[in-house]
Structure 1
Amino acid sequence: MVKEAMAEIVRGTAEIIDKEKIEKLLKEYYEEGKHYYVKAGFDPTAPDLHLGHTVLLQKLATFQKYGGIIQFIIGDFTAMIGDPTGKSETRKKLDRETVLKNAKSYEEQVFKILDPDKTQVLFNSQWIDKLGASGLVELTTLVSVARMLERDDFEKRYKAGKPIAISEFIYPLLQGYDSVYLKSDIEIGGTDQKFNLLMGRQLQRSFSVGKEQAVLMMPILEGLDGVQKMSKSLGNYIGVDEEPNTMFAKVMSISDELMWRYYELLSSKSLEEIEILKEGVKEGKVHPKYAKELLAAEITARFHGDEAAKAAKEEFDRVHKQNDIPSDIAEYELKGHIWIAKALVECALEPSTSQARRDIQAGAVRVNKEKISDKDLHLEEGEYILQVGKRKFAKLKVTK
């Protein structure tokens, strides 16, 4: 069983530090029934999660299958500082009211994947508030400035002469202190979090916790474009709370190559099942579209249920096989003589007017089913069906 469990735990990972420790924890669980603790932290800097976030949640769910108790940390304290990971400048500070509102949303969304009976939802303000000024100062004595500047993003900003706030140095210390306080056995995060994850191991040594957490890093999930990481700001995301038809259609829009990456990181199918399906596609016995439909149905059902996933597939087939317009699309009303690029942004079909212009030039925009090429087009009074690509629609009423 340990071998089987390790195969699922290792699946899709980018790097594991102290793999032997994880094997030891699994062995103790199967031989002695002893549970172990897996930590993952999420700063509630936005109210909603997308599938990129669920890569970690899926891995946490895997640990739950094999004896792990999840320490799901909502960084209500650290979110107000802002994780500097991957940032080229100091992040804007969030107010506590926004953080707590977003945290509540996170709690509601994560249990669509995690087993609540095997999950401890924790807010790190519970123990960081108790540190006080003296405790925080003591924490800062454990790591040198030189060590902090070894971190890639800090080093780049320092060399470029860009400011680094002292609070940003404190962030990884506080994340590491979470592991000290909770006595975590394993911590997981994205590859961009490596410095922070290793800080937990270092501080557990410094505080003589009696253990050093293993670290498991997951790759960053590519967005729908298959190039950049999934991000709401880039418009290449699939939101956990998106309605079923949109979720199903977005999964169907990914490339055949990217599909297997999504299977590996997001599907609950076993590695053996995925390999059989992949071989079937490779040998021409299974159509790639069918394999993608299975993935789209699985992901949609996970967040909305089997019936909703079935209905979403039927709607997708109706729209795409008949070249029809979806039965339920958002409606908007705007003032007349509006620039088409601005209309597409106002109708939530495009993230920006510059992207709208690019899509028009690429032939991806239709008005009333007719492809348009004039990026300077203005819409007069009337009703229009706007479309971007194969899956994004809006009904627009233009008034005087």
Structure 2
Amino acid sequence: MMQGTEYGDDNLKTAMTRELRERLVEAQKEGRPLRVYCGFDPRTADLHLGHTVPMRKMRQFQELGHDVVFLVGNFTSLIGDPSDKDVLRPQLTAEQVAENARTYAEQAYRILEKDKTRIAFNAEWLSKLTFEDLIKLSSNFTIQQFLTRENFRKRWDKGDALYMHELFYSIMQGYDAYALKADVQIGGTDQLFNIVTAARKIMTYLDAKPNIAIILGILPGTDGTVKMSKSLGNHIPILTGPEDMYGKVMSIPDAAMPQYSRLVTRWTPDVIHAMESALKEGTLHPRDAKMKLAWEITSAFYSDEAANDAQEAFVRLFQKGDVPEEMAEFGLDAAMPLADLLVATGMAESKSQARRLIDQKGVKLDGEVLTDARAAVPHAGVLQVGKRNYVRIIEK
């Protein structure tokens, strides 16, 4: 249960481990499962592999017989969680939140067991809180506590605005834990304040037993360094195809493999330890280890057969140097700069991302590296971006 946890404080981890063990014993005596939840704010329509880290932990609790709640933050999304941002998040409308929330549960069922998962929406109780309720809940916190948070401190030091409604987010999340009568709350390291400080304080204030925090590491993107994010283009969508998922996992740096193994696989600690030992001893090549990792992740979302097919396609295409026989086609406009072409073909989400790909020598035409983002594509041919993305450029 504690695999993949990161608290940044050994004493806190020891305390949470002890409390979890005690709560398990207590629940067993009472003849009940633990109530475990994690909240997801539907600020975008699609989930990526980073979102699935807490879901994988929820699935572990399900398999051990505990009660799991997938909480859709359709009310907290109206504010936007400032935990991982050092700038103000844009506020969404109720209509935007509703549309995004519509797809969340179905995507979650790719990991969670549908018949064992309860879906809840926090507007059910947060929308009913009165101004008096908010005053009483807020009285448990000081401004200084919020300013100890790194993201708020950065904005304060830069003279950037901090808005009052941003402070309410932690209080609202703390009330979620109370409303759900949660034994365990799961979240990433960016949720440490919200879960350990806010939720436990509010539950204690309201005469409830404080929840136990399972704080997980943050999954890096395919670059292996910064948090996986669609806006950065380093994400692995869970709605992508098996071949693309397999290939994207194969593109991560070797150094990121331990985090991926602990956070997004079904592997037990002994399996992970054996692989890491083999890598350290030199009896397992990093490429082979990564292929096992890519197969495992793809299989978890699709099937063993799909993972086998994806692996065979990867070997055929990238290890043997084959170019796919079938690929999308795009009519070439001779006046179109390369950066514009990458955006137009969908191989880059923005011109800035296109320029980065070009600067990193990740764009080729018929095997030749293209280096000028402003220059027109010289001729028709097979345009390749990275290791997996191809489009056939044809003359109009």
TM-score, scaled relative to structure 1: 0.90
Work out whether 1:74 is the aligned partner of 2:72.
yes
Residue ranges of structure 2 left out of the alignment (5+ in a row): 8-12
| 75-84 or 305-314, larger mean C-alpha shift | 305-314
8 Å CA contact 2:339–2:351 kept in 1: the answer is yes
Q: Identity rate of aligned residues, in percent? A: 38
Q: CA offset at residue 112 of structure 1?
A: 1.1
Give the RMSD, CA atoms, in angstroms. Answer: 2.1
8 Å CA contact 2:332–2:380 kept in 1: the answer is no
Work out whether 1:98 is the aligned partner of 2:85.
no
Equivalent residue number for residue 128 of structure 1: 126
Q: CA offset at residue 334 of structure 1?
A: 5.5
Q: CA offset at residue 232 of structure 1?
A: 1.0
Counterparts in 2 of 1:58-73, with a 5 A limit?
Answer: 58-73=56-71
User: C-alpha separation between the residues in 2 aligned to 1:43 and 1:345?
Assistant: 29
Counterparts in 2 of 1:184-195, with a 5 A limit?
Answer: 184-195=182-193
8 Å CA contact 2:37–2:184 kept in 1: the answer is yes
Equivalent residue number for residue 142 of structure 1: 140
Equivalent residue number for residue 3 of structure 2: 11
Equivalent residue number for residue 384 of structure 2: 387
User: C-alpha separation between the residues in 1 aligned to 2:359 and 2:180?
Assistant: 54
Equivalent residue number for residue 114 of structure 1: 112
Work out whether 1:250 is the aligned partner of 2:242.
no
Q: CA offset at residue 208 of structure 1?
A: 1.1
TM-score, scaled relative to structure 2: 0.91
Paired AA for residue 276 in structure 1: A
8 Å CA contact 1:44–1:79 kept in 2: the answer is yes
8 Å CA contact 1:331–1:395 kept in 2: the answer is yes
User: C-alpha separation between the residues in 1 aligned to 2:359 and 2:130?
Assistant: 57
Counterparts in 2 of 1:174-193, with a 5 A limit?
Answer: 174-193=172-191
8 Å CA contact 2:348–2:354 kept in 1: the answer is yes
Q: CA offset at residue 398 of structure 1?
A: 5.0
Q: Relative to 1, partners in 2 of residues 1:97 and 1:286: Cα closer, same or farther, differing over 3 Å?
A: same
User: C-alpha separation between the residues in 2 aligned to 1:170 and 1:349?
Assistant: 39
Q: CA offset at residue 361 of structure 1?
A: 4.1
Equivalent residue number for residue 5 of structure 1: none
Work out whether 1:294 is the aligned partner of 2:292.
yes
User: C-alpha separation between the residues in 1 aligned to 2:282 and 2:92?
Assistant: 52
Equivalent residue number for residue 234 of structure 2: 236
Query: 1:276 is matched with which residue: 274, 289, 292?
Result: 274
User: C-alpha separation between the residues in 1 aligned to 2:203 and 2:107?
Assistant: 31
Q: CA offset at residue 330 of structure 1?
A: 3.5
User: C-alpha separation between the residues in 1 aligned to 2:219 and 2:165?
Assistant: 28
| 43-52 or 148-157, larger mean C-alpha shift | 148-157
Paired AA for residue 89 in structure 2: R
* 1:169-212 Cα distance to aligned partner (Å, 9 max, x none): 11111111111111111112111111111201000111112x01
Equivalent residue number for residue 321 of structure 1: 319
Paired AA for residue 314 in structure 1: E
User: C-alpha separation between the residues in 2 aligned to 1:398 and 1:165?
Assistant: 53
Q: CA offset at residue 31 of structure 1?
A: 5.8
Paired AA for residue 260 in structure 1: P
* 1:273-296 Cα distance to aligned partner (Å, 9 max, x none): 222233333334333222222211
Paired AA for residue 204 in structure 2: R
8 Å CA contact 2:338–2:372 kept in 1: the answer is no
User: C-alpha separation between the residues in 2 aligned to 1:357 and 1:82?
Assistant: 30
8 Å CA contact 1:241–1:303 kept in 2: the answer is no
Equivalent residue number for residue 207 of structure 1: 206
* 1:294-334 Cα distance to aligned partner (Å, 9 max, x none): 21111112222222222211211111133122344333346
Equivalent residue number for residue 263 of structure 1: 261
Equivalent residue number for residue 3 of structure 1: none
Q: Relative to 1, partners in 2 of residues 1:398 and 1:190: Cα closer, same or farther, differing over 3 Å?
A: farther
User: C-alpha separation between the residues in 1 aligned to 2:307 and 2:155?
Assistant: 46
Q: Relative to 1, partners in 2 of residues 1:127 and 1:357: Cα closer, same or farther, differing over 3 Å?
A: closer
User: C-alpha separation between the residues in 1 aligned to 2:169 and 2:326?
Assistant: 45
* 1:80-137 Cα distance to aligned partner (Å, 9 max, x none): 1111113223221111122112112110111111122332211000111221333333
Aligned length: 389
Q: Relative to 1, partners in 2 of residues 1:100 and 1:328: Cα closer, same or farther, differing over 3 Å?
A: farther
